């Protein structure tokens, strides 16, 4: 083998190695996480995949001020099955503000309910147009379209601008997603208290719901509930009453970011 051929082979090997390194580096920058919680002690805030101070850099939060007995009620809604009107009735009776994170088809098919949410002082947040895994949308253009299309639809239905609060579908996110949302003017809202309430063919009992939602409640908790849950619709009045008896009051999502610490 001639010396020139050997040099060409070495150059090709080096180029291939460099390409592999770039690919691995690119994979690292788009690493994704799924929001999950570890409860270490009842009545205290759980540990999340990212802490409050890290999230704050991206205008994101999962927890309010742990020095105050304030709870933040949030509901995710991918579709409507008759539970939301009752939930709104209960919220009104308790004078409790909530945030509803909606997807495109919900707004399209339930305009009256969406307008009612707004009229009764609740916040409608952006759960994206199609509920995709947003961490797989690698460009700002694709990510932005999922949010801005929902903004336009909300404006068409309500005549108002959509508040800039974003919840990643399925809780899946990446650092790049947080940065993109921030650049679009959004605050990303995770949660510090939830339970398995979304399985329509396996709804939890009242007792099972209370076993999760009462002992684990904590100061500054951001509750994630699904408005499709029949259990939630049935227990919400009693649940909020119990929270009130424990000394909690309910804050709007707008105040979350002025109250969160860390």
Which of the residues are catalytic?
76, 226
Nearest to 64 by CA among 222, 225, 247: 222
Ramachandran sector of residue 3 (left: φ over 0; alpha: ψ -120 to 50; beta: rest): alpha
Phi, psi of 243 (to 5 degrees): -60, -40
Nearest to 255 by CA among 35, 99, 95: 99
Nearest to 249 by CA among 259, 102, 88: 259
User: 3-state SS of 51-94?
Assistant: CHHHHHCCCEECECCCCCCEEEEEEEECCCCCCHHHHHHHHHHC
The label of the residue with tokens 């009130």 reads 244
């Amino acid at each position: 083998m001639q010396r020139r051929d050997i040099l060409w082979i070495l150059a090709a090997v080096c180029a291939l190695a460099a390409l592999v390194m770039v690919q691995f580096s690119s994979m690292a920058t788009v690493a994704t996480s799924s929001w999950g919680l570890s409860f270490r002690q009842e009545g205290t805030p759980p540990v999340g995949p990212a802490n409050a101070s890290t999230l704050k850099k991206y205008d994101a939060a999962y927890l309010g001020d742990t020095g105050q007995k304030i709870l933040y009620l949030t509901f995710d809604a991918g579709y409507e099955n008759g539970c939301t009107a009752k939930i709104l009735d209960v919220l009104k009776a308790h004078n409790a503000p909530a945030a509803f994170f909606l997807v495109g088809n919900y707004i399209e098919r339930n305009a009256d309910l969406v307008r009612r949410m707004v009229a009764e002082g609740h916040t409608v947040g952006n759960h994206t147009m199609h509920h995709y895994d947003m961490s797989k949308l690698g460009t700002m253009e694709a990510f932005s379209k999922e949010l801005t299309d929902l903004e336009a639809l909300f404006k068409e239905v309500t005549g108002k601008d959509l508040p800039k609060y974003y919840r990643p579908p399925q809780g899946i996110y990446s650092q790049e997603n947080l940065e993109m949302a921030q650049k679009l003017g959004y605050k990303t809202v995770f949660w510090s208290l939830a339970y398995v309430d979304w399985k329509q063919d396996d709804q939890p009992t009242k007792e099972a719901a209370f076993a999760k939602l009462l002992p684990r409640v904590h100061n500054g908790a951001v509750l994630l509930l699904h408005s499709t849950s029949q259990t939630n619709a049935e227990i919400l009045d009693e649940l909020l009453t119990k929270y009130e008896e424990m000394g909690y009051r309910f804050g709007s999502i707008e105040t979350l970011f002025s109250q969160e610490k860390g």
